Structure 1
């Protein structure tokens, strides 16, 4: 009997250590690094540029930027699903070929020390992460849209963000009168916005990387929300080089954010995400993702420092 108790105790300790180790692993893996951005100045009413793909006219939201020492305008994708601002290796390498005085990529740590500006706002870091991604810059075409990186929510920690989709403008400011603002969650630099659909309270991840979709949810909820016998649109998506299959169908639902009601005309689900991603989605408490398309006729103001937002 004593031997059995000892064995049971050993197994219990092993299970506890396993669970603790798993918890610490996930905490470390999915906790974003310290915010090393140094931001000065503000940017007001910056024109938004949209990328179109197939039948989707709002598949990505781009903002114009300039790199220190180069007068040419480049673009970075605004992605509220990314906790850090990153640059694309292939794009930077082609810039370095043309402009020899540019900072060199630290290939060992895949990082770069540089600065970029959006109007009068300057963003500096010694440790911008560099992804093995992107395309060579087309310097021959002055109208070419050359994308060199992604702006993440680390910048949103430094400035209040005003996304004026009505007028296709974006601002990063330091102060605003926060009348009628309400709470949202900013966990691990992820934006979780409270909403209501058919009297059901939901927490939805605002991921502008899924720009051209209104609501992305599970297959089960997709079946529930979509119009029956509606045509299903199928397309391929891209997540940092990984191919996903995206299914969208028409819907007639109302989604409410604080006092603002938006008509949901389309609902989407995605196949190809990993079991780990699905697990993390459930663990975070979110019931879906919303992109820019849902807010096209509205203004979204996000203050990530105070975790307050307003939708107009």
Structure 2
């Protein structure tokens, strides 16, 4: 009897001991998972957080010529703006890219400029930056610009060549209200404008998210002028839903900072409402070959697609990132 009672006591102690260990292990696992989630969130939050905006902007640019970079497949591949580097009379071009949070220069292009104007291009090899000032109309932009190991050699002999030397990002959008008159191919960067009839949009981490609607479905759409020649880029599932079943499909090669992508575009017949403006969606696109990081960015941001400049070709788009207001007219 005594032995049986001791055996029962020992079993109860063992069960209690095992339960305590189990609870501790579960508690540790929960803490580990929580810390992993927090760590993951902080990592990606930091990964997609742009650096501090160090642009020093003076003056404004009004009715600057808005040009286009052309490819064999796309006549509106990128918006190009004419700029001058301080101390150099030549006109170069920079791509206006609302998908880039940072204004930067292309190192390979600058190195070719430096062979001719060696005392005007000051590159910090250690920091991979360039201290410079460029002008657009009567507006000047000064900073230590980041350099991207990208670009082509500048052709000084060809006076009509689009010598693209860098990218203008949304850090400049924070400093000035941007007016893109696509119909008349004009662009302005101003400090004030009449904002009657303007609507709100989301502007986080220098990403422009317009509210949109397609067939009563509300969407969050990233305005990325880097995808200039496309109306709406989305995933394959949405692409299948929006395209015309009997419509044609066009395949082409795309370029994302030197990475080759496969771009699939299909005819569509939809109406896209951006704010209160109804725009005709005649084409929808999805891309193969994007990186895991790019796909993750789309998922974590909550966006359902990206819109380029082609959707606004017959309109004027005004974007005030400082006050998070916009208008399509």
Same fold (TM over 0.5): yes
The correspondence for 1:182, drawn from 161, 185, 199, is 199
Question: 1:138 corresponds to which residue?
Answer: 155
Distance 1:29 1:85 in 2: 17
In the alignment, is residue 223 of structure 1 matched against residue 240 of structure 2?
Answer: yes
Q: Would you identify which runs of 4 or more consecutive aligned residues in structure 1 move more than 4 Å?
A: none
Native 8 Å contact 2:122 2:132 kept in 1: no
Kindly state the Cα deviation for residue 104 of structure 1 after the two structures are TM-superposed: 2.1
The correspondence for 2:107, drawn from 89, 98, 108, is 89
In the alignment, is residue 205 of structure 1 matched against residue 222 of structure 2?
Answer: yes
Distance 2:275 2:209 in 1: 14
The correspondence for 1:166, drawn from 183, 204, 214, is 183
In the alignment, is residue 102 of structure 1 matched against residue 120 of structure 2?
Answer: yes
Kindly indicate which of the two structures has a greater share of residues assigned to helix: 2
Greater shift, 46-55 or 65-74, is seen at 46-55
Distance 1:219 1:9 in 2: 41
Distance 2:192 2:100 in 1: 24
Distance 1:280 1:124 in 2: 30
Per-residue Cα deviation, 1:122-174 (whole angstroms, up to 9, x for no partner):
0000x210000001110111222100000000000000000001100000000
Per-residue Cα deviation, 1:231-279 (whole angstroms, up to 9, x for no partner):
2100010100111110001000001123321111000000111233222
In the alignment, is residue 111 of structure 1 matched against residue 129 of structure 2?
Answer: yes
Native 8 Å contact 2:110 2:121 kept in 1: no
TM-score normalised by the chain length of structure 1: 0.98
Distance 2:118 2:235 in 1: 48
Question: 2:307 corresponds to which residue?
Answer: 290
Distance 2:222 2:322 in 1: 17
Kindly state the Cα deviation for residue 3 of structure 1 after the two structures are TM-superposed: 1.2
The correspondence for 1:25, drawn from 31, 43, 59, is 43
Query: Can you give the 5+ residue segments of structure 1 that lack an aligned partner in the other structure?
Result: none
Native 8 Å contact 2:93 2:166 kept in 1: yes
Secondary structure at the aligned position of 1:75 is classed as: strand
Secondary structure at the aligned position of 1:234 is classed as: strand
Distance 1:276 1:132 in 2: 20
In the alignment, is residue 152 of structure 1 matched against residue 179 of structure 2?
Answer: no
Secondary structure at the aligned position of 2:115 is classed as: helix
Question: 1:76 corresponds to which residue?
Answer: 94
Kindly state the Cα deviation for residue 229 of structure 1 after the two structures are TM-superposed: 2.5
Secondary structure at the aligned position of 1:56 is classed as: coil
Kindly state the Cα deviation for residue 51 of structure 1 after the two structures are TM-superposed: 1.2
Distance 2:202 2:20 in 1: 50
Native 8 Å contact 2:230 2:285 kept in 1: yes
Kindly state the Cα deviation for residue 280 of structure 1 after the two structures are TM-superposed: 1.8
Distance 1:284 1:141 in 2: 43
Question: 1:269 corresponds to which residue?
Answer: 286
Distance 1:65 1:28 in 2: 32
Secondary structure at the aligned position of 2:75 is classed as: strand
